[in-house]
A and B are shown apart, each in its own frame.
Chain A
Amino acid sequence: MKFVVAVKQVPDTAEVRIDPERGTLIRDGVPSIMNPFDTYALEEAMKWRDELGGEVTVITMGPPQAESVLREAISMGADDAVLISDRAFAGADTWATSHTLAAAVTELGAVDAVFFGKQAIDGDTAQTGPSVAASLDWPQITFIGKVRELNEKSITAERYVETGTQVVQAELPVVLTILKDANIPRVPSLRGKMKSRKAQIPVWGLIDLGLTEYETGLNGSPTKVVATATPEARIGGQIHEGSTEELVAKLADLLLGEGSEG
């Protein structure tokens, strides 16, 4: 089986602060990490590789330094990795990113499944996985809490959705997005870390993927960011104490607009 896991390097949001005046993230000095949700996608792919045989290739689109998340993935047990990087890819929205990732999956050839985390903790869109499926014209199963069965031909998985659990079957090749309920990601191994240090990671750019500048990066992105703003902080509610009678009277006053305290 040939599995691809798409990962993203993100700022560790636990460490990120927001510039209150400009409303933007202060990224200086913030460590970059593998998107935590992607670790579940990686583990799921490796789990099924370990059972069925085959290989797991990890891909990421990003600047040259994004290579470190690929090495991290190899240290956890991925077989190899490809960095998708080109100046022409900069400024991509989810559509352009998906279009580029889909071209990389096509270039890898004979892929059985592409695994994504459910979303990235920086953008929180949860669009890239589904959008890659659309670009490839493959079936997709999103928000997978449990993969019931995976074989040469098909997958049966449980989607954890607001209304309950949905069991979905799809034929391969397929795009999957994985929830953290699916597994417990393994820790890196010593041999994995040794391998990751030595691994040669190819870099694929615009030409390698047979793409043009018009369909990638900022040029290829229909999304235009007009402005960003921080929502105003919500004012806390009021807490009143007293007997039931007093509280009912107080509430009536407030609702009738008398004795309003703000």
Chain B
Amino acid sequence: MDYMLNEDLLAIKEICIEIGEKHILPVRAELDEGNEFPREIMNVIAQSDLFTIYIPEEYGGTGMGSMALAVATEELSRYCGGIAVSYAANALGAMPILLMGSEEQKKKYLPKLASGEKLCAFALTESEAGSDAGGVKTRAIKDGDHYILNGTKQWITNGGEAQIYTVIALTDPDRGARGASAFIVEEGTPGFSYGKKEDKMGIRASATRELIFEDCRIPAENLISREGYGFMVAMKTLDNSRPGVAAQAVGIAQGALDEALKYAEQRKQFGVKINSFQGLQFMLADMGTQIEAARALTYAAAGLIDTGSKNIVKLSAMAKVFASDVAMKVTVDAVQILGGYGYMKEYPVEKMMRDAKITQIYEGTNQIQRSVIAKAMIKEAKRK
């Protein structure tokens, strides 16, 4: 299907295909096996300007917005979900600054993120605060013109690889979620260290690590927005980034379908190509249809964000839920179509299946997303 992508979006797509073919395909299995961060590919991505697309022109970006980010993330994910998330997590990390940061903070950090000189990460999750982000325990106590951070963040994508972190911590624990604030913490700040690096099922090329704050003193000007606004910053960030997860899911699914189609054309059983069997054709048809529907919803959600609408929560969540469920189903089916070969690491579809699973879990589980969607719908219905 032709989405009438404009010249800029087509250019992004072409660049991602070139990066995918030349730089990702030859190494993706190795990086997956080795749990290894794609540092060199991040350099190629930086040089090709892909870090500029979600950053406004006045801060060194190309200001192309959410749709452009979705196209890039989708296309990179077709080659490797782990490498794509290492890229897209930078947008997630930058989002609090983009959405709520001060002019000084934008000027100081965004140009370095646009050029790829520095990588970025968003730190909300803790061992006891997942879907219930209000359960955050990390403290930030004001001390003159500094804040002192104490606590541990868990499962932080790009942890240990990024140089700039946007961190949610409690400034007023008595007020629960309303007592949270968002901060910028730079690598190398005394009292800030990295903990355990996770050994994951999928997206293994991406880094997932603990951030440990022990009496970590950061300048007060690193507070994003105001004290007490941290939870809002976090929610707004995730509402804006969910189409990115959806795009990642669409890309992983498309990659798996491409492999399944290729294999079904080559593989012969009973003297004929297996794609001549109706049972398999129906599987392929469903996979293709579901991906196209997921892509349409993802582009709709990203497009809505680009209109500047404030009412993005429901559609962002819908795109994330639908696309990630499609990715899981399509990748499982792709493994099925490749049969025994699909189950082997020599073929890429088992990796795609492992990579797909996380899209149903992170940036809000699909169960929480369904609650969000239902609440939004019920609220809308009452207004009518």
| Chain A positions near chain B (C-beta within 8 angstroms) | 186-194, 197
CA distance A193 to B62 in the complex (A): 12
Can you list 19 A-B contacts (CB < 8 A)?
A186-B47, A186-B48, A187-B18, A187-B19, A187-B48, A188-B14, A188-B15, A188-B48, A189-B47, A189-B48, A190-B12, A190-B15, A190-B48, A190-B49, A191-B52, A192-B49, A193-B11, A194-B62, A197-B7
* B47 touching A193, Cβ below 8 Å: no
Q: Mark B30-62, 1 if CB is under 8 A from A, else 0.
A: 000000000000001001111011000000001
Within 8 A of A (CB), among B87-145: none
CB distance from A10 to the nearest CB of B (A): 18
Main secondary structure of the interface of A (DSSP, over half): helix
CA distance A189 to B18 in the complex (A): 11
* B14 touching A191, Cβ below 8 Å: no
Within 8 A of A (CB), among B6-31: 7-8, 11-12, 14-15, 18-19, 22-23
Q: Which of A186, A187, A188, A191 contacts B62 (CB 8 A)?
A: A191
Closest to B51 in A: A190
* B47 touching A190, Cβ below 8 Å: no
CA distance A131 to B55 in the complex (A): 48
Q: Which of B22, B23, B44, B62 contacts A190 (CB 8 A)?
A: B62
CA distance A95 to B49 in the complex (A): 41
CA distance A187 to B15 in the complex (A): 7
Do A187 and B7 form a contact, CB below 8 Å, given A193-B14, A193-B15? no
Further pairs besides A190-B48, A190-B62, A192-B49: 19, Cβ < 8 Å:
A186-B44, A186-B47, A186-B48, A187-B15, A187-B44, A187-B47, A187-B48, A188-B11, A188-B15, A188-B18, A189-B15, A189-B48, A190-B12, A190-B15, A190-B50, A191-B49, A191-B52, A194-B11, A194-B62
Cβ–Cβ < 8 Å partners of A192 in chain B:
49
CA distance A197 to B11 in the complex (A): 10
**Which of A186, A191, A193, A197 is most buried by chain B, counting CB atoms within 10 A of its CB?**
A193
CB distance from B352 to the nearest CB of A (A): 23
Cβ–Cβ < 8 Å partners of A186 in chain B:
44, 47-48
Closest to A191 in B: B49
Within 8 A of A (CB), among B196-232: none
CA distance A191 to B55 in the complex (A): 14
CA distance A193 to B14 in the complex (A): 10
Cβ–Cβ < 8 Å partners of A191 in chain B:
49, 52, 62
* B7 touching A190, Cβ below 8 Å: no
Q: Which of A187, A188, A194 contacts B8 (CB 8 A)?
A: A194
Cβ–Cβ < 8 Å partners of A193 in chain B:
11, 14-15
Cβ–Cβ < 8 Å partners of B23 in chain A:
187
CB distance from B69 to the nearest CB of A (A): 12
A-B interface, 8 closest residue pairs, ranked by CB to CB distance from nearest: A190-B49, A193-B11, A189-B49, A187-B18, A189-B48, A187-B48, A191-B49, A187-B19
* A190 touching B11, Cβ below 8 Å: yes
Closest to A197 in B: B7
Closest to A190 in B: B49
CA distance A88 to B322 in the complex (A): 60
Cβ–Cβ < 8 Å partners of A197 in chain B:
7
CB distance from A71 to the nearest CB of B (A): 11
Closest to B46 in A: A189
CA distance A190 to B7 in the complex (A): 11
CA distance A187 to B40 in the complex (A): 13
CA distance A187 to B53 in the complex (A): 16
CA distance A34 to B44 in the complex (A): 21
CA distance A192 to B47 in the complex (A): 10
Cβ–Cβ < 8 Å partners of A187 in chain B:
15, 18-19, 22-23, 44, 47-48
CB distance from B52 to the nearest CB of A (A): 7
Q: Mark B300-321, 1 if CB is under 8 A from A, else 0.
A: 0000000000000000000000
CB distance from B154 to the nearest CB of A (A): 34
Closest to A186 in B: B47
CA distance A186 to B47 in the complex (A): 8
CA distance A80 to B50 in the complex (A): 23
Cβ–Cβ < 8 Å partners of B47 in chain A:
186-187, 189
CA distance A189 to B47 in the complex (A): 7
CB distance from A189 to the nearest CB of B (A): 4
* B53 touching A190, Cβ below 8 Å: yes
**Which of A186, A189, A190 is most buried by chain B, counting CB atoms within 10 A of its CB?**
A190
CB distance from A90 to the nearest CB of B (A): 31
CA distance A189 to B16 in the complex (A): 10
CA distance A65 to B53 in the complex (A): 30
Q: Mark B228-271, 1 if CB is under 8 A from A, else 0.
A: 00000000000000000000000000000000000000000000
Cβ–Cβ < 8 Å partners of B7 in chain A:
197
Cβ–Cβ < 8 Å partners of A190 in chain B:
8, 11-12, 15, 48-50, 52-53, 62
CA distance A195 to B19 in the complex (A): 20
Closest to B23 in A: A187
Cβ–Cβ < 8 Å partners of B11 in chain A:
188, 190, 193-194
CB distance from A14 to the nearest CB of B (A): 13
CA distance A115 to B11 in the complex (A): 27
CB distance from B16 to the nearest CB of A (A): 9
Cβ–Cβ < 8 Å partners of B52 in chain A:
190-191
Cβ–Cβ < 8 Å partners of B14 in chain A:
188, 193
CA distance A91 to B281 in the complex (A): 51
